[in-house]
Chain A
Amino acid sequence: QVQLVESGGGVVQPGRSLRLSCVASGFTFSSYGMYWVRQAPGEGLEWVAYISHPGSNQYYADSLKGRFTISRDNSRNTLYLQMNSLRAEDTAVYYCAKPTAGSPPKELDYWGQGTLVTVSS
């Protein structure tokens, strides 16, 4: 069965960096583009980033202004999100998500359990 397990969240000071990981299993990871979506406490969902299956194309939410970088290691079935210059407004649960098959962008049929990032001094 498909599993997505995020890790790397925690409490970090403003201006610092953090890298999230998402280990995938139960499907051919290298064949799927992958997504990060976040949700601030008590708020709605916010799409963060997408990376194509070979890793050659990335798209980001405008609000991130180059601070975040999505990457992947297909040999390790792992998706990453490097977050730099963190701000209080980046505090959220971060989900990795797998799309359905087909040409992107596609709807998200599997989600991880999420990892909480808290940006606070």
Chain B
Amino acid sequence: GAVVSQHPSWVICKSGTSVKIECRSLDFQATTMFWYRQFPKQSLMLMATSNEGSKATYEQGVEKDKFLINHASLTLSTLTVTSAHPEDSSFYICSARGSLAGSVEQYFGPGTRLTVT
């Protein structure tokens, strides 16, 4: 199946700093990428949807100026958490969808665990 990678797999940063998370589709072109976050013992919550070359669409309650999403190419999307605070500590997961021969449609990355101290 198609592979989606994320980098880094975990990161610790100080409050007030910014962190960038990369999401790559390794063997297919991702026309659409999704960003989710997951707090402990909770389900995945969609943060935003991005299409290559377009501005991301954010879910209600997600601050677009705090969570900057860039989808500049068909294989790369980035999520930047700006001025991170401890409450931003979470598991961030990206997902990609593209024109694949298969029918699964949406593939997920392994996730990035962010801890803000």
A and B interact physically: no
